[in-house]
Structure 1
Amino acid sequence: MLLLAGLILGGIVGVVFGEKATVLQPFGDVFLNIMFVMLVPLVFFSISSAIANMNGMKRLGKIMLSTLLVFFSTALVASIVGYIGISVFNPVKGIDVESVKALMGAPGDAEKITIGERIVNMFTVSDFHLLLSKSSMLPLIVFSILFGTATSMAGKQGEAVVTFLNSANSVMMKMVQLIMYYAPIGLGCYFASVIGTLGAKIIGGYARSFVLYLVIAVLYYIVFFTLYAFIAGGKAGVKIYWKNIATPSITAIATCSSAACIPVNLEYSKKMGVTPDIAETVIPLGANTHKDGSVIGGVLKIAFLYGIFGKEMTSPSAMLTIILGAFLVGAVMGSIPGGGMIAEMLIVNLFGFPLEAVPVIVIISTIIDVPATLLNSSGNNVSAMLVTRIVEGKNWLKDYLKANPV
């Protein structure tokens, strides 16, 4: 809420003082630079520690495969729904795109290389030190996954590394929390500078983006979560899901943090009939890697930049690129309030946009943060029900209700 208040105040300052508000931009640049420095260690420790801890649980293999299937499927559906939304309602319609583009600079050379080269550069680098750059987010993610997997496979010999990764991840999260205290000031100052320079040329685009996202979020929350609950447990699944989802939803809205919702989601997913071992796997993992709301937001942010830079969005290749790009965005979004900076960096790197475009879409992340967190967090509960359906069989909910009569 403080972050949103900072943006509102920054917007007012930009409108009132016009170009004089650009004097505040250095305060915004300080925040962005600090976050850029945090990206590499944050991504590495977050992902590698999460994977390194995945061992020793009953039925882990079947649960993990089912979880990955459910996460992939629902995120794919979310990205398609988001793409349909931006196809029907263009978020940048009416914006003076030339002025915005001039502010951000020209896009990179991502389109001047072959598809094969782009795939190689997207997932790998040629030397280890190149991983230590914010321009190599996806190769870093691949390395982090491999490192976490190898640590888990090492068993007792890897226990010291697991402890180190967990401790380092906790420290990095605390550092992010400390930095986020400055976020309302930093982003507020940057927004004041942007609005002071562009004024109404871009405010309309943000307003359209927010309205579009809100409509999609309400549709997805009511229609698709109901559908998923029905697939998981039929009419009884729908009933037990909506009976227990109110508290997790309110917690998500109040905290704007998927991580903060983990204890509540664990409690209420078990009340939905999810077995403890499935809940304790799906909910924490989902808070870090499964975010349907962020996927839809990723489509919106990519489309926003596509519109500004005049890129074509309707061809099959563009459609596939946007959908898959948004899918990755959902996987790397931070699980804390304002934790989307990693995703913004991934977007500009994958699609060849200038780094100056990062704060422009960070503002979109901020204004959609509440409904996005609601979808992210609530989606993990219904995903846990779907995983239980796969692991326990079609009578899982009937057995639960028989053992736990109302």
Structure 2
Amino acid sequence: MTAKDTKKLGLTAQILLGMFLGVIIGLLLRNLFPDSEIIQQYFTEGLFDVMGSIFLSLLKMLVVPLVFVSLVCGTASLSEPSKLGRLGGKTLAFYLFTTAVAITLAIAAALLFHPGNASLAVEGMHYEVKEAPSLAQVIINIFPSNPIQSLTEGNMLQIIVFAIIFGVAISHIGERGRRVAEFFNDLNEVVMRVVTLIMMLAPFGVFALMAKLSLTLGLDTFESVAKYFGIVLIVLLIHGLLVYPALLKVLTGLNPLMFIRKMRDVQLFAFSTASSSATLPVTMQTAEHRMGADNKIASFTLPLGATVNMDGTAIMQGVATVFIAQVFGIDLSLSDYLMVILTATLASVGTAGVPGVGLIMLAMVLNQVGLPVEGIALIIGVDRLLDMVRTAVNVTGDSVATIIVAKSEGEFNEEIFNDPMASKKEIDIDSLEGNDLTRT
């Protein structure tokens, strides 16, 4: 393949190439130089760690300004308070419903296939539990006492609440509000341009992340909990590739195959970063420019979804709860399972869209039904791989919700969605002048 051919590769192809090369090089280094301190020091914790960390930091750098600015823009454009209430009600109802469906499917699959084996429970098993907030504290923490502190700490729920209140205020002060709204619209275009610039580094960042993962993932733990891994993976795929597309078809009549086709970039980013928040810039661009959702809707539903819609995490929690109960020989009653469904669904509202946070929420769910949290030590070895898959499921659900809400509000361009070429109009990482991805 010549340099010219490589340059013509779309973003999806470049990301896939980066993922493939990262896995291959990581496995080669791992097998050719086992236990090599040079590889560990200069590649695993050196080159690959630095490249991957820089890429993730650049993506996360955009999350707070993107969420705040886009939400202010979207909310300020909604002059009717009733419309904002409808948007919030529809979006939250969809997210909570799909989360409940996800964990119900997970528990049913785990009970059917019985992944837990009492022989796995070993003495001395230990998992250091980080304290999970109570549901009451989660609700209290939604509302910021210091919005500047919320912005600097990246507290997404508080940022969302403050941005919505700020945007509503802008929409209610007439001409002065319109001037402020224009400023935020211009600022939003600047932020989206920064997104385009950072996308130039995506294939290299993904390559480094996958290479490091291939060098560090322990296969011995994976073998011991392969059945658990397989059940979680299957339920995640069913939820992401069957449940979401079915809801999209039933509620909008749109072609689910076209949706899946246009979600490739978002899902690949989510898989490689294992962070809904880090993937948010790509999700927003895709929803607007390739799916056809209006910015007013996408700027509200997607930041909210990256914070509260954690169906993939709920699936992991459902299977893990049954798995751990079976390993320790503890029988759960119907009321216990209902408590797991309720707790995991509500806990998803307080789950941040960052890697690994699902294990903290799992500790909270286990405590609710009296299961030993030490059982988390059994699954922590394979959680990174599952975290990547469930993040891809989470962002898929965010996009489905955005399309459904946008269509119900009459803020959806069906021609863009149905245009096969729109799925090929990927982020131009070669020429920023030839493909303006900002809203006009």
TM-score, normalized by length of structure 1? 0.63
Equivalent-residue separation in structure 1 for 2:81 and 2:105 (angstroms) = 36
Q: Does the 8 A contact of 2:309 with 2:394 survive in 1?
A: yes
**Cα 1:320/1:326, change in 2 over 3 Å:** same
Equivalent-residue separation in structure 2 for 1:372 and 1:40 (angstroms) = 17
The alignment partner of 2:129 has SS state of coil
> What displacement does 1:221 show?
3.7
Equivalent-residue separation in structure 1 for 2:31 and 2:226 (angstroms) = 14
Aligned residues: 348
Equivalent-residue separation in structure 1 for 2:316 and 2:340 (angstroms) = 14
Equivalent-residue separation in structure 2 for 1:205 and 1:9 (angstroms) = 26
Equivalent-residue separation in structure 2 for 1:115 and 1:207 (angstroms) = 30
Amino acid at match of 1:198: T
Post-superposition CA distance 1:318-362 (Å, at most 9, x none): 433311233566xx7xxxxxxxxx3436646666799x9999655
What residue in structure 1 maps to residue 347 of structure 2?
325
Q: Which of residues 330, 344, 348 is equivalent to 2:355?
A: 344
Q: Does the 8 A contact of 2:71 with 2:167 survive in 1?
A: yes
Q: Does the 8 A contact of 2:79 with 2:171 survive in 1?
A: no
Equivalent-residue separation in structure 2 for 1:80 and 1:55 (angstroms) = 28
Equivalent-residue separation in structure 2 for 1:65 and 1:125 (angstroms) = 23
1:133-282 alignment runs, 5 A limit? 133=153, 136-147=155-166, 149-150=168-169, 155-156=177-178, 158=180, 159-160=182-183, 163-164=186-187, 166-168=189-191, 170-171=193-194, 174-175=197-198, 178=201, 181-195=204-218, 198-201=221-224, 204-221=227-244, 223-229=246-252, 238=253, 241-242=254-255, 245-253=256-264, 256=267, 258=283, 259-266=285-292, 279=294, 281-282=296-297
1:295-374 alignment runs, 5 A limit? 295-303=310-318, 314=336, 316-327=338-349, 342-344=353-355, 347=358, 361=383, 363-367=385-389
> What displacement does 1:297 show?
1.4
What residue in structure 2 maps to residue 42 of structure 1?
62
The alignment partner of 1:262 has SS state of helix
> What displacement does 1:75 show?
1.4
> What displacement does 1:211 show?
1.3
The alignment partner of 1:93 has SS state of coil
**Cα 1:221/1:286, change in 2 over 3 Å:** same
What residue in structure 2 maps to residue 26 of structure 1?
45
> What displacement does 1:81 show?
0.9
> What displacement does 1:46 show?
1.7
> What displacement does 1:153 show?
5.4
TM-score, normalized by length of structure 2? 0.59
Equivalent-residue separation in structure 2 for 1:347 and 1:191 (angstroms) = 22
Equivalent-residue separation in structure 2 for 1:352 and 1:385 (angstroms) = 38
Post-superposition CA distance 1:19-58 (Å, at most 9, x none): 7389264256546754775577433212211122126758
Q: Does the 8 A contact of 1:213 with 1:368 survive in 2?
A: yes
**Cα 1:151/1:97, change in 2 over 3 Å:** farther
What residue in structure 2 maps to residue 109 of structure 1?
131
Q: Which of residues 65, 70, 76 is equivalent to 2:85?
A: 65
Q: Which of residues 101, 120, 129 is equivalent to 1:81?
A: 101
Structure 1: runs of 5 or more not aligned: 230-237, 270-278, 333-341, 392-406
**Identity level (%):** 11
Equivalent-residue separation in structure 1 for 2:187 and 2:22 (angstroms) = 37
Post-superposition CA distance 1:353-402 (Å, at most 9, x none): 99x999965532433566665554344333333334xx9xxxxxxxxxxx
Q: Does the 8 A contact of 2:19 with 2:206 survive in 1?
A: no
> What displacement does 1:79 show?
0.5
What residue in structure 2 maps to residue 381 of structure 1?
403
What residue in structure 2 maps to residue 276 of structure 1?
none
Amino acid at match of 2:234: V
The alignment partner of 1:181 has SS state of helix
Post-superposition CA distance 1:268-323 (Å, at most 9, x none): x7xxxxxxxxx553355445445799632131244467678879994555433311
Equivalent-residue separation in structure 1 for 2:135 and 2:401 (angstroms) = 34
Compute the RMSD of aligned alpha carbons.
4.9
The alignment partner of 2:355 has SS state of helix
Equivalent-residue separation in structure 2 for 1:59 and 1:156 (angstroms) = 11
> What displacement does 1:71 show?
1.5
Equivalent-residue separation in structure 1 for 2:222 and 2:381 (angstroms) = 16
> What displacement does 1:152 show?
5.6
Equivalent-residue separation in structure 1 for 2:164 and 2:344 (angstroms) = 23
**Cα 1:368/1:171, change in 2 over 3 Å:** same
Structure 2: runs of 5 or more not aligned: 1-15, 268-281, 365-372, 412-440
The alignment partner of 1:344 has SS state of coil
Q: Does the 8 A contact of 2:76 with 2:170 survive in 1?
A: no
